[in-house]
Every structure is written in C-alpha cells, then in structure tokens.
Chains A and B, each alone.
Chain A
Amino acid sequence: MLSSVADPAPAMLKYVLNRLVGMVVVLFLVLTITFVIVRVAPGDPAALMLGPDATPQDAAQLRAELGLDQPILVQFGKFLLSAVQGDLGQSLFFRRPVLSVLAERAEPTTFLALFSLIFSIAIAVPIGIFVAYRRGGLADQGAVSTAMLAASVPSFWTGLVLQRWLATGLGWFPASGYGGPSSTFLDRMGYLILPSIVLGIVNSALILRFTRASMLDVLGEDYIRTARSKGMSEARVVLKHALKNAAIPIVTVVGLTFALLVSGAVVTERVFNIPGMGSLVVGAVLRRDYPIIQGTLIVVAALYILINLLVDLLYLLIDKRVRY
C-alpha cells in the first residue's frame, strides 16, 4: 500500500561523507602508483637537467641535493608526509613549489575544459533530442554518421585542420598561444575558443549518441503516451516528460567525458601551444620532473572523483527513486 518516506537529508550527508573518505583512499592509491611508475620508468632527472656535458660527479651531487639518492621508501615517506600537509614538493625543473607551478597553469586548462564541455553539451544534447524524435529520418542518419566520424578522427588532426582553416586562413581566431603578459582575461579566453571547439568535438559525438539512445528509450514509454493523451504540445511532451527521464544517462556520460577532456587537453594544448596543465605534464614527463607529474595526477584524480560525486548527487535531484 502507501509507503511512507523517511527524511533523506541525514542519509545523504552520511553518503557524501562516506564518499569523501573513499576519495582519500583513492588519492592515496593514485599517489602510490604514480610515485612508483615515474621512478620505475628509465631516465635520470639529474642527468637530464645538467645536459650531456655534465660529469657523473656533478650528477651525483645534484641527485643528493634533490634527495633522489635516498632509498625509495624514505623518499615515499617524506613525500606522503608533506603531501598530507598540503605540500606537493618542489619542481625539480622550475625549482619552485609544485602547487604554485600548477596554479599558474590551471587557468587555461580549467577554462579549456569548461568551454569545451559547454560547447559539446550545447551542440550534442539538442541535436540528440531532435534526431531521436525524428528517428530514422535524414537528419537522424546524418547526425549518427557525422557523430561516428567525429568520434573517430583524432583531435590533433581536427586541431591542425581547423587551425589552418579558421585561424591562419580566415583569421577568425588566434592560431595559437595564450597571449602575452599584458593580455587581459578576455583576450586570453579568446585564445581558448578554437581549442575548446576542437576538444569538444569528440565529446559531442559521444554525448549525442547517448542523448539519442536515451531519448529513444524514453519516447517509447507508456507515460509518454499518457502525456500526449493529456492534450499538451509535442514540445512539452519531449522537453518536459521525456527529457527529464532521459537525463540520467546523459548526465552520466557528461561526467565520464571529463576524463576524455583531461587526456584531450594534453594533445590540444600541444597543438595550440597553450601553457596549460596538459603541456606542463608532457614537459614534466620528458624532463623526469617527478613532483610535477605526481602533483598533476593527484589534482586531476581529485577533480575526477569530485565530478563523479557531483554526478551521483545530480541523480538524486533528477530521480526521487534514487536512494543512497
């Protein structure tokens, strides 16, 4: 019969706390794995920093200065101890705290990710809804095959083509870089438009396919027929009754594409010569700048976990049947 509903607020608080505790565990694992991997990989940061002319003595001295001569467990212990205190160490290359280097590089990457996410949602969700409604039509077939193509083309290629066409050719966008020291915030954002589109294309393909599939499922449901039988417009049937039900898979895939954004940013920043976290981490890998690699991965992992948590909380908002 009629079931009563318990107040969900305390249960939800407990859930969020549990998830945050889980996050600490995951971050610890990420720390450990990256710490091991960067050190297992061949290459000596001291030798790379000093160049080919350095003597083995110089290299040994630098290693001692950087603390790289200590046993790996000691290094790990020191690293963990300072990480817990919010200190991710000193960059071997920049000779500055990792966090301050990351903070400098965070702006372009954050906005690149944000713009490309907005771009892909703005393109993919409306088209996905439309073609699901006109299932099997010309627009549907066109959109599905275009999405397939867009998902298959590597973003460095799209990047180069659009750069040549829209920036160098038509001059609509700056071709590369992130402005000079005197550039205003808006100027800098202008540099991000084209890279955001490039990065957003692959994501839109994925989001479009999920939106379409999810809407197709929902549009066949009985309650859609009920909605129609009430005498409302088709727009209201689709955008109110169907879209809300189709939203959970869409929100999920948007959250998942965040992972693609991060890896995509590495390539896109390279193509457009943007001084973001992507190019920072690539440089750090080449220079064996261990603290930077570790720091970047931790920040990205933390962001990813937070976004997943946000997605799970969005479910609650959309669907009252979801209980944590």
Chain B
Amino acid sequence: MTKAPILSVDGLRVTFRARGRTVTALRDVGFSLQAGKTLALVGESGSGKSVTSLALLGLLPPNGAVAGGNAFYRSRNGETVDLAGLSARAFRKIRGREIAMIFQEPMSSLNPLFSIGEQIGEMLDLHEDLDAATRRRRIVEMLELVEIPAAASRLSSYPHELSGGMRQRVMIALALVCAPQLLIADEPTTALDVTVQAQILELMRRLQREMGMSILFITHDMGVVAEMADDVAVMYAGAVVEEAGVGELFAAPAHPYTRGLLASIPRPDRPEGERLKAIPGAVPPLFALPRGCAFAPRCSFALPACQRRVLLMEVAARHRAACIRAQEVLADA
C-alpha cells in the first residue's frame, strides 16, 4: 500500500514566547504517515514529540505558535488541509471527527465532574446528530469495543470510580467514538503498569485493524515502538533526525543518535556484566542549541563539517536520516 500519505509534515517550526524571548521548540520536523499505518514518533523528554502532536491539532498553549512549515492532512472527503495554518474555527471541524487524541495521563485527562456517558456522549453531540436511543447505543458499543466490563452500567460512572487502565480505555473510547481517520496517541501507556500497558497496546492494535484508522504514536519507549509501529521517526532537540520502517531502523540505524538509543536498551541476551551503553552528555537546552547538527557535541562520528545545517536525506529505500556520515553509520551496523 503506497497510497498518498494521510499526514505529511514538512519543515514544521514551532516557537514559544517566554519572558520576552522566543524559543524554538521545533526546528525542522518532517515525517509522513501512511493511511491505516502506525508511525511512532520517538525521542527523549524535551525532544519536541508532544509539541509536535499538540501543534497538529492546534492545541499549543497560548504562548506557542506554528512559525513555519506544512502539515498536509488528507481529510475524509479527500480534501487536503494544511494543519499548520488552520484557523480555530477550522480546527474545530477536524478535532474529534477527523483527528482525535489520547493523552499520557488517564487520571487527569478525563473531566472529574462528568460521567463517562456524558463525556463520550458529548463527542457524539458535537459531531453527529443522533436520537437518544442511538446515542446511548453508540456509547455502549464503544465501551464494549474497548473491553469495559458491564459497559451499559458504566455510563453513569465517574472517572474516579475507575482504575488507570480503565480510564485509558474510556479515553480511547472517547477518542474513537466518531471513528476518526487519525488517532494521535501521546504516550498513552507511559503512566500505566506494565501489564496494563500491554493490554492497552493490544487493544489499540485490534481497534486499528477493525476501524482502519492511522495512528501517530508518540513514545520514548523503544520496546513499545517495536511492538506498535510500522514506521518510525526519531526526534532530537526539536527536529526529526531519522525516519524509516521499523524493521530497517532497528536492523540498521543510519543516524548516530538512533544507534545510541538502540544501544542503550537493556536486553537479556547481552552478555552478563556488559555495561549499558549510555549516550554521553545531555540534550542541549533549546535556547542554546549548537550550530548545525544538534547532536554533534555528543556524537562519536562528528566532524567539523557537522557545524553546517544538515537536512533529512534519503540513505536507502524508505529510509531518511539527517547525518552527513549516514552511509558510514549504516555500513558500520
């Protein structure tokens, strides 16, 4: 399936005003998400993954703004919409119906003062015109779809009466009740127990098979990437530094940062006593980024030429990386 992508982001820039100065949170974010597939956006805290997801739905905080780039989204009726320059009014038509989002904290992402039924029902009220019986049936069906036991009796429950895993199921039900084309999942399992995490991931995979939506999956967990993603975009300091199919990326990373990330995953098959390979140094603060490649100061492959601006380049079929020595990194794998 190599149709036109459902979401194609290019050169996305986001800036924040803070205490009179402007900080660039996203410098150059580009990736594309194929219809019906899952793209994982990975990176450390502060790399700009969440900012990217919020920017795509126009949910940036008031001091943040999209300062450049495009995010072309192909809507249900085949029109192409640039999410990077959308008005508040136009975003309201996209949110919930075309693109829905689930968040990291299921504890705080549901409104504590409204029942589950009210919160899911509101989504239907906003986008569809249903009679009371159909509305109720749709809510119950959706709760059953996310495997909430005794769904019909849960409509009048409040979030505080549910466990974290159940709340995340409710969040997923809320996001998917209007059958959006694209689901943005911002670290949906990070706040959950490992066993619950596995259940939620399995649920999302099943729903994707059944409903056919595309997923932009934001995570910092390479294990989750391996389990969920078809394609991966790796972010570092506000830019995408590598984009590839999940198999290609794990087998042969072309960017030294990705390589470092993969090498730092603890694995039971490594020889006993071998130390984990941490990436030396720390992510630079956004207001003090080095010139050129932001990873260069921590990179063992770095050359003086890395101080020039590096763009994402094709390094193999369906594999792009922003590194001047990508071929050598690939060959070294």
Contacts and interface: CB of A to CB of B under 8 A. Distances in A.
Interface of A: 1-3, 5, 221-223, 225-234, 241, 244-245, 318-321
A259 to B, nearest CB: 28
Contacts of B59: 225, 228-229
B39 to A, nearest CB: 19
Interface in B144-181: 149-150, 154, 157-158, 160-163, 166, 171, 174
A2 B154 CA distance: 9
14 contacts: A1-B163, A2-B154, A2-B162, A223-B108, A226-B109, A226-B174, A230-B95, A230-B96, A230-B174, A231-B92, A232-B92, A232-B122, A319-B113, A321-B158
A2 B103 contact: no
Contacts of A229: 57, 59, 95-96, 100-101
For A1, A3, A228, A233, the residue with the greatest tally of chain B CB atoms inside 10 Å of its CB is A228
A274 to B, nearest CB: 41
B127 interface: yes
B194 interface: no
B88 interface: yes
B49 interface: no
A306 B91 CA distance: 48
A223 B161 contact: no
B101 to A, nearest CB: 5
* Central interface residue in B91, B113, B149, by most chain A CB within 10 Å: B113
B103 A222 contact: yes
B110 A2 contact: no
A319 B224 CA distance: 37
B111 A245 contact: yes
A230 B123 contact: yes
Given A223-B111, A232-B126, A2 B166 contact: yes
Nearest to A133: B62
A230 B110 contact: no
Nearest to A241: B111
Contact of A226 (B110, B126, B158, B160): B110
Nearest to A136: B62
Classify chain B: how many residues form its interface, as a range.
Answer: 35 or more
Contacts of B96: 229-231
A221 B150 CA distance: 29
B99 to A, nearest CB: 9
Contact of A231 (B93, B150, B166): B93
Contacts of A226: 101, 103, 109-111, 171, 174
Interface in B88-141: 88, 91-97, 100-101, 103, 105, 108-114, 122-123, 126-127
Nearest to B94: A231
Nearest to B97: A231
A229 B157 CA distance: 22
Interface of B: 57, 59, 88, 91-97, 100-101, 103, 105, 108-114, 122-123, 126-127, 149-150, 154, 157-158, 160-163, 166, 171, 174
Contact of A321 (B88, B112, B149, B171): B112
Contact of A222 (B91, B109, B149): B109
Contacts of B103: 222, 225-226
Contacts of A241: 111, 114
A320 B108 contact: no
A231 B109 contact: no
Nearest to A221: B108
Contacts of A223: 108-112
B111 A5 contact: no
Contacts of A233: 92
B112 A231 contact: no
A230 to B, nearest CB: 5
A228 B111 contact: no
Nearest to B162: A2
B163 A231 contact: no
Nearest to B92: A231
Given A229-B57, A229-B101, A320-B158, A1 B166 contact: yes
A225 B161 contact: no
Q: Which 10 A-B pairs have CB atoms at the shortest separation, nearest pair first? A: A231-B95, A231-B96, A222-B108, A223-B111, A230-B96, A229-B101, A222-B109, A231-B92, A226-B109, A320-B158
Contacts of A319: 112-113
Contacts of A3: 161
Contacts of B150: 2
A230 B126 contact: yes
Given A225-B59, A320-B158, A245 B166 contact: no
A225 B88 CA distance: 14
Between B93, B108, B149, the greatest number of chain A beta carbons within 10 A of the residue's beta carbon is seen for: B108
Q: Select the residue from B59, B94, B114 with max chain A CB neighbours within 10 A.
A: B114
Given A229-B96, A244-B113, 16 more contacts: A2-B150, A2-B157, A2-B162, A223-B110, A223-B112, A226-B101, A226-B103, A226-B110, A230-B123, A230-B126, A231-B126, A231-B127, A234-B88, A245-B111, A245-B112, A321-B160
Contact of A2 (B88, B100, B112, B163): B163
